[in-house]
Amino acid sequence: MDRASNVDLAAQIKSIMIRVLDLDIAPGRLDEKVSLYSPVVGMDSLSLLHTLVEIEKEFDIEIDDEDVMLAELRNVGSLVEMISGIIGAEDG
């Protein structure tokens, strides 16, 4: 996946997160270094699951539990990276 596609993917994932988590922030203002569990994002295990389900629907992909466990999801960027890897694997 090239850099432009990765930027578009990040924006789409951020938009999904904002919608699912009902965040009052623009996608461009959601930095990839922000912790998923910070007060800014406020994710917990249930909202992570809901976010992943919406991402699966949006991108027509399947996210395995093992992918999530191995990804060490800590921040917005790590979530984008995991999804990018899954899409890349399905495309390749």
Structure tokens at 59: 């991108």
**φ, ψ for residue 37, nearest 5 deg:** -105, 10
In DSSP terms, 75 is beta-bridged to: 35
pTM of the full predicted structure?
Answer: 0.89
Owning domain of residue 78: 3-91
Question: What is the distance between the alpha carbons of residues 54 and 16, in angstroms, rounded to a whole number?
Answer: 7
Asked if pLDDT for residue 81 goes beyond 80, the answer is yes
**CATH no. for residue 71?**
1.10.1200.10
Question: What is the distance between the alpha carbons of residues 48 and 72, in angstroms, rounded to a whole number?
Answer: 13
Say what the pLDDT of residue 7 is.
Answer: 75
- When divided into structural domains, the chain yields a total of 1
Q: What is the pLDDT of residues 9-61, one digit of tens each?
A: 999 999 999 999 999 999 889 999 999 999 999 999 999 999 999 999 999 99
Instruction: Detail the DSSP E strand segments found in 1-92.
Output: none
Gyration radius from the chain CA atoms: 12
Say what the pLDDT of residue 92 is.
Answer: 64
